[in-house]
Amino acid sequence: MLEKIQVKKSDAGDALKGVDCLLMIGGEKSGFDVSLKGVTVEPSACWQAAQREKDPVKDFMIAGADKPVAIHCLPLKKQGETDYQRIGAAAGTRLRAKPYGSVVLALGDDLEIDKDAVAALLRGLIIAAEPKLSYKKDDKAAKPDDIELTVLHGNDALSFTKKQLKPVLETARAVLIARTLTAMPANHLGPEEFKDYCLGLEDDTLGVRVLDRKELTKQGFRGLLAVAQGSEQPAYVVELFDKRAKGKPDVSLIGKGVCFDSGGLSLKPATSMPEMNMDMAGAATVVGAMWLLTRAAKPVGYVGSIGLVENMPSGTAYRPGDVLEMRSGKTVEILNTDAEGRLVLADVLDWSAKEHEPKVLIDFATLTGAIIIGLGHDDAGLFSNSDGLSEALLSAAKAADEGMWRLPLHDSHRKAIESQVADIKQTGGRASGSATAATFLGEFVGDRPWAHLDIAGVAFTDKDTVYSPSGATGWGVMMLERLVETLSAGKVGVDKD
Ligand SMILES: [Zn+2]
């Protein structure tokens, strides 16, 4: 579908010729400036029927001129940009459920719609239309790439040229990059394959740098390497940057890329292990976002650094009770080898802060189960040492319609990770488990403004969401695209509060 979308003014006559599905999005008084030649249906009657039954996406199967057309009416009550993104997603969900070949999306003539709203609608539609990653040999699920989508409207000012459509499609593609990486099973996406995938993205603007085990040893990534040492898989730190950008970056994005997390010697229960291929979702968000941000016309001062490892139990695995000296020099008492993500992130945060000297650090990690207990699957947990950075992130998340909720960092959380044998201990007990994990990370960022996003609840869900089928979501990519705006123009140097 990404290649087969048009947005144009409807011409009378053959709008529905060969079309399998008509999606109608409109307000209560909408008429539709689409020629329904040979089709005996009143769009407004459809809309009202759908309203009455409180089903915004009811099917109306009717006989068209050359074949039956499935009509879906999607009433739109509020008309903000995120409402358009959501109604687009409702349309996309319809296309995900059924593999229509040719689709017309008609916009009602009473919509207060501008080009940004059309872009939001398409963004929502494309990411919701994408089915779950499947390895079935005879998969009958909708193939969005095969769908021909024509958006019809009655207003010349809403038409998109191919060039204007490109950034909209790129945003959607970036979300799907993150989502697909997150969904891939660990035997298809280990640290080696993930690193190769990043190298495959390299182009004129996106630069990729790989630090392998030898380099990581030389650079002192002792925490990250301790996690990796139980696995026969290699370990990497991969960096993604804009080749056009000059000087120090404004923002460092750090991602947790634990490609499979067995828990290590502190082995997880069998029932919670099958989905532990997604413990690299933070890294996937960073990769999707960096791919997207480096596509923009202007260079972006963002650098992404992801730590790629596998956490396995073996004769060479690190142990509970071990004391590690991290890259920063700080010593850490290990209590639970399943709390490995913070060790990987701590070293990458320390590296990124010292190597790149960014104005701001932001990390993304499926870090704790506790965040799912606290916030469910609606919001990522935000922890930060900076009110300014938090505000920028929250407003970017709101604009992108991606849930985020700020949680506090207290002195008591720091107390909880005091150790008798090392500078700090790795975990702070059951109480405030997400906050003590965040506090641990905060020990490795120096005095820079920093934000930690615990995405364990939002990166992967067991139910369908507005924008995706159950499983991986690609959360955070759209938020980061907005963050470039909210952090730009002098606001980048967010003061640490
Ligand atoms: Zn773990």
Shared fold status for 5-154 and 171-486: no
Query: How remote is the CA of residue 197 from the centroid of ligand 1, in Å?
Result: 23
Could you give the C-alpha distances from 349 to 257, 309, 344, 446, in angstroms and in order?
A: 13, 15, 9, 9
Q: What is the pLDDT of residue 494?
A: 62
| List of the chain residues with pLDDT < 50 | 12, 33-41, 63-65, 489-490
CATH of domain 5-154: 3.40.220.10
Question: Measured between alpha carbons, how far is 345 from 18 in angstroms, rounded to an integer?
Answer: 53
Q: What is the pLDDT of residue 497?
A: 55
Q: What is the pLDDT of residue 65?
A: 41
Question: Which one from 86, 195, 256, 342 is the annotated catalytic residue?
Answer: 342
Query: How remote is the CA of residue 420 from the centroid of ligand 1, in Å?
Result: 23
Query: How remote is the CA of residue 180 from the centroid of ligand 1, in Å?
Result: 21
To the query of whether residue 491 is one of the catalytic residues in this protein, the response is no
Query: How remote is the CA of residue 368 from the centroid of ligand 1, in Å?
Result: 8
Query: How remote is the CA of residue 369 from the centroid of ligand 1, in Å?
Result: 9
Contacts of 405-408 with C-beta under 8 Å, sequence gap 24+, read 405/375, 405/379, 405/380, 405/381, 406/382, 407/374, 407/381, 407/382, 407/383, 407/434, 407/435, 407/438, 408/383, 408/435
Query: How remote is the CA of residue 172 from the centroid of ligand 1, in Å?
Result: 30
Angle between helical axes of 191-201 and 281-293 (0-180°, round to 10):
10
pLDDT digits (tens, 9 = 90+) for 214-271: 999 999 999 999 999 999 999 999 999 999 999 999 999 999 999 999 999 999 999 9
Q: What is the pLDDT of residue 38?
A: 41
To the query of whether residue 327 is one of the catalytic residues in this protein, the response is no
Query: How remote is the CA of residue 432 from the centroid of ligand 1, in Å?
Result: 17
Query: How remote is the CA of residue 74 from the centroid of ligand 1, in Å?
Result: 42
Indicate the domain borders of the chain. Answer: 5-154, 171-486
Could you give the C-alpha distances from 148 to 50, 154, 167, 467, in angstroms and in order?
A: 25, 20, 19, 20
Within 13 Å, how many C-alpha atoms sit on residue 81's CB side? Answer: 12
Question: Which one from 58, 132, 268, 398 is the annotated catalytic residue?
Answer: 268
Count the helix, strand and coil residues of the chain and give each as a percent rounded to the nearest 5: 35, 20, 45
Residue 293: DSSP 8-state: H
What one-character-per-residue DSSP string does 148-199 give?
A: EEEEEES-GGG-B-HHHHHHHHHHHHHHHHHHHHHHS-TTTS-HHHHHHHHH
Query: How remote is the CA of residue 205 from the centroid of ligand 1, in Å?
Result: 34
Q: What is the pLDDT of residue 62?
A: 53
CATH of domain 171-486: 3.40.630.10
CA dihedral 34, 40, 46, 47 (to 10 degrees): 20
Query: How remote is the CA of residue 342 from the centroid of ligand 1, in Å?
Result: 9
Q: What is the pLDDT of residue 66?
A: 58
Residue 29: DSSP 8-state: T
